[in-house]
Amino acid sequence: IEQLFSWDQNADGNGVCRNYANIARGVLDALKILQNPENSELNTTYAIELGWEKNEASPGFVRHHSWNAYVTVTKTAIHTTLLDSTWADDSSLGQDPARIGSHEVKLDYTAERMFTVVSHFAEKGLIDEATLARELFEIFTPAPQSHFQPLTESNVEQYFSNPPLTYLINTQILQALNRIPEQIDFFKPRLAFFLRHTSQALKDHARQLHEAKPLLQSQAFLNSMVIPFLQNLKSLIELSKSLPEDFPERKESLQTCGQLLQDAFDHFGPTYIEQFYDILSMAEILGHTTIADQRLKNIASHPDNFDRYRLMGIVSTLGPDRLGPYKELLDIQPEHDTQALGYRKATTYFKSIYESYDFSKDTQPEIFYEKLNAVLENYPSKDRAYLHRFALNIQAKAETYSFDPHTLKLHSLMSPTDIKQEIRNFIEFNQEWDAFVKNCPGRIEWDKFINIDSKTQLTKALEGTKQYFSSAPLSLIQYKVIVIGNEDNVSDYLNPKIDIQHFISKDFAAIEALLKTHQASEFKGLVDRRAIQKKYAALEKSPLLTGNILFSIPNEELSIAEQFYEPLKQALLFLETTEPLLKSNPIQLRVNKRDKKDPKLPTSFIVKQSGEIILFADIKPNQVAPSLIKAAQFYAQFQKNISEVTQGKIKVNPAYDFQPLTAKTFAQLRRLASFVAPLKNKPD
């Protein structure tokens, strides 16, 4: 174990998710070695690494990331817990590209990602998908609209990548029904009910997309919101289309899907080629020819979007009346079937190495694949892993493309030696950038769509960026996300965009003038809120808390957060000593303005069955610590009573997590105790 933790976190390739996941597995293996094998309780416990390119369609999947499932096998069941060591370490915030948009520091992701391990077990033959679908369908409860939280600047980090659990179950059922069509008759009695509520859940999800788009960086918005939404929309379309035309709710479901597809096409146009073709496929299934024709027109005018294999897959599903525009685009030849096999092999390989890939129309990836494979199979594993963060672009000729720091650009005439050197230069450039931004006092990013005429200019831009920010006044960059792109735009004071040409020419006066366009006083509320969030970050590491401490108060009342800070800190320190049970049943803490529906003073808090504690913002500072202590003790007593009732042999889930804990709750627990007492000694 000591050897595992002697790694250099600052060395290239370290400090990222797969290092954490491997170390987590290694620690468990080391602990097992230290046990007495005759009576060790770890004999049947194993650590599995999940994520990266496996089970991407599973509800809760996180793109470009790895985490662990801890599995204990008994004679009757498999018990699992999903832990993310990377996201439990706040030092990985700036190093893990999958973490874009989220600064939550948390270890246990069992609820959010449980279906990723379910998919893993299904692949191994340990779970029968039809049986699982039936069991989930029997307990299916629609996701209440209230569970899709309205996303605001103050809560977007908590909710944007964590959809309601009921929605994840809904998604798993939807995917299973499409994979086991032969079992569909079993589900028909409640299928109309399921379609109606699934359509409503997708509408609620779409509403969240509109709320989140202006609040999130484009990469986080795409990976955590747009892609899962499009996957679920496609699954609902396929299920609805497979049903008889007179089936109840079928017509309504397809109408809703058509509206949502049009909305997604208009407002969330995807930039990755996979989502580009998903929308085209859905448009053809729904007969939405306007969207389909616009997509085909875009392919014809932008060769980089051309993907013969994906287009041929769509052609195989079309009727004769829709073949015309595809035949013209593809110029289909009889020998295509043989070409498609090589194409599929090449694109599968590229996807296993790169975040995304695309080719010019004149490039044959099945031929270039042999060259690239010959180079990469001898590459160090850490370099291959590093390339997962980037896109691959292959053009027919060298002079036909520009450069950007997100994309490794190659051309089909390059020799293996040239390819090897180009990859080495690309990795070294980005590792130098990573080292710079890690130590920069402000947050600096490349614009997603930046383009440069030459690699020399890109190198000069890096030199200029490092030189300016090494001595930039802290007041100009603190709390900002500064994006380097192809234009100047400082309309958003906290998210300014600076033209890369200023850094290439080292025009530092121009950069400083742009960053000074607005004074911090003009955005005092936003700046002050970020300062408060930074201050509370240390407090939120308490083992008694899950998630961030959320303040639902306007910017002009942020002084409340300052007044609450020290009392909350003292209360948490006291509770860590006196209520150890809360470490395994942590609380979610909120400070809210008191609404009309809330209890009046002198009531100072509400405790919910889920462990959410709401302190009201109008209580006096000297009431804060006693109120939190009393509320936490109340919740701890609730958990103790459940433990006494069940003695670890019966699982109890509150029916409504969002309901307050009251005297009635404890009375129900006492009734439950008398009911389950005769069951405790039953072997089953």
Is residue 378 domain-shared with residue 455, that is, in the same domain? no
pLDDT at site 322: 84
The distance of Cα 146 from the centroid of its chain, to the nearest Å, equals 21
Is residue 425 domain-shared with residue 447, that is, in the same domain? no
pLDDT tens, position by position, 489-523? 887 777 888 999 999 999 998 898 888 866 655 55
Taking the C-alpha atoms of residue 8 and residue 10, their distance in angstroms, rounded to an integer, is: 5
Last residue of a domain, which of 518, 550, 585? 518
Residue 32 structural domain? 1-122
- For 320, other C-beta atoms within 10 Å of its C-beta total 6
What does the block give as tokens for 140?
């299916």
Whether the pLDDT of residue 619 is over 50: the answer is: yes
Name which residue leads in pLDDT, 398 or 591: 591
Residue 479, Ramachandran bin (φ over 0: left; ψ between -120 and 50: alpha; else beta): left
pLDDT at site 71: 93
Is residue 490 domain-shared with residue 398, that is, in the same domain? no
Whether the pLDDT of residue 649 is over 70: the answer is: no
pTM over 0.75: no
Residue 175 within a domain: no
Is residue 444 domain-shared with residue 431, that is, in the same domain? no
Mean pLDDT of 111-120: 86
Residue 195 within a domain: no
For residue 76, what are the CA distances in angstroms to 79, 80, 589?
10, 13, 37
Mean pLDDT of 399-416: 77
What does the block give as tokens for 395?
């053009």
Is residue 529 domain-shared with residue 671, that is, in the same domain? yes
* Cβ–Cβ under 8 Å, residues 123 and 165: no
The distance of Cα 678 from the centroid of its chain, to the nearest Å, equals 45
pLDDT tens, position by position, 305-350? 777 767 877 887 788 788 888 877 776 443 434 444 455 556 666 6
**364 φ, ψ (degrees, to nearest 5):** -105, 95
Give whichever of 146-150, 291-295, 565-569, 675-679 has the largest mean pLDDT: 565-569
DSSP string covering 454-501, please? -HHHHHHHHHHHHHHHTT--HHHHTT-EEEEESS-B-SSTTS-EEEHH
pLDDT at site 336: 39
pLDDT at site 340: 46
Mean pLDDT of 655-681: 78
Q: Which residue is listed with tokens 């890109």?
A: 458
Mean pLDDT of 467-473: 88
Is residue 574 domain-shared with residue 672, that is, in the same domain? yes
For residue 47, what are the CA distances in angstroms to 30, 270, 356?
12, 35, 29
Is residue 9 domain-shared with residue 117, that is, in the same domain? yes
| pLDDT band, residue 464 (cuts 50/70/90) | very high
What does the block give as tokens for 333?
């030849």
pLDDT at site 11: 45
Residue 501 within a domain: yes
| Total count of domains within the chain | 4
Across 391-400, 575-584, 618-627, least confident range? 391-400
What does the block give as tokens for 640?
């103790």
For residue 150, what are the CA distances in angstroms to 211, 266, 591?
7, 21, 17
Name which residue leads in pLDDT, 71 or 186: 71
Taking the C-alpha atoms of residue 576 and residue 331, their distance in angstroms, rounded to an integer, is: 70
Is residue 575 domain-shared with residue 628, that is, in the same domain? yes
Residue 260 within a domain: no
Cα Rg of the chain, angstroms? 27
Give the bridge partners for 83, in sequence order: 68, 108
* Cβ–Cβ under 8 Å, residues 468 and 441: no
Is residue 446 domain-shared with residue 376, that is, in the same domain? no
Residue 164 within a domain: no
Which element (helix H / strand E) includes 391? strand 391-395
Whether the pLDDT of residue 600 is over 60: the answer is: yes
Residue 544 within a domain: yes
Which percentage of the chain shows pLDDT scores above 70?
79
Last residue of a domain, which of 122, 147, 170? 122
Taking the C-alpha atoms of residue 40 and residue 402, their distance in angstroms, rounded to an integer, is: 60
Is residue 548 domain-shared with residue 484, that is, in the same domain? no
* Cβ–Cβ under 8 Å, residues 84 and 107: yes
Whether the pLDDT of residue 558 is over 80: the answer is: no
SS3 6: helix
Is residue 543 domain-shared with residue 465, that is, in the same domain? no
- For 181, other C-beta atoms within 10 Å of its C-beta total 11
**410 φ, ψ (degrees, to nearest 5):** -130, 165
pLDDT tens, position by position, 204-250? 888 888 888 887 777 677 777 888 888 889 889 989 988 888 888 88
pLDDT at site 184: 80
Give the bridge partners for 608, in sequence order: 660
Name which residue leads in pLDDT, 377 or 7: 377
pLDDT at site 578: 92
Whether the pLDDT of residue 70 is over 90: the answer is: yes
Whether the pLDDT of residue 628 is over 90: the answer is: yes
Residue 289 within a domain: no
Is residue 528 domain-shared with residue 672, that is, in the same domain? yes
